[in-house]
Amino acid sequence: MADRSGDLHALRRPGGDRLWHNGRQENRLLSALECELVEMIFETCRCAESPSADPSPDAPLIGPESPFGFDSLDAVEIVVAVQRKYRIRIDSQETSRKVLRSIRTLAEFIQNHR
């Protein structure tokens, strides 16, 4: 399978923390789960390039203000991928909206429902 995530790479730091690197500069420190989610989301949504901005884990994940450029169809794909990979249930549209606010809120939801 071809790499559809452009220049997006996860780099390890001593102690297991990883930095998100988008080919230009290192982003803020992300937890291992947040970094894993970024990689999974970019693969799921078949992103051809890295985000136009240097997003933080608190940046909007979906919508016009999102540096990722994801829309509501991407949100459905992300929910399905998260449910399959982490064996958790995101059971309502309202829950999806809350959970998909950012990479951080998605990671927190997963951690709280494992």
- Domains of the chain (ranges; CATH) run 9-112 (1.10.1200)
* Angstrom distance (rounded) from CA 69 to CA 76: 14
Categorize the per-residue pLDDT at 5 as very low, low, confident or very high, splitting at 50, 70 and 90: very low
Between β-strands 26-30 and 9-12, what pairing exists: parallel, antiparallel or unpaired?
unpaired
98 against 49, higher pLDDT: 98
CB 106 within 8 A of CB 89: no
Percent of the chain with pLDDT over 70: 68
Q: Token pair of 100, please?
A: 């998909």
Residue 15 confidence (pLDDT) above 50: no
22 against 49, higher pLDDT: 49
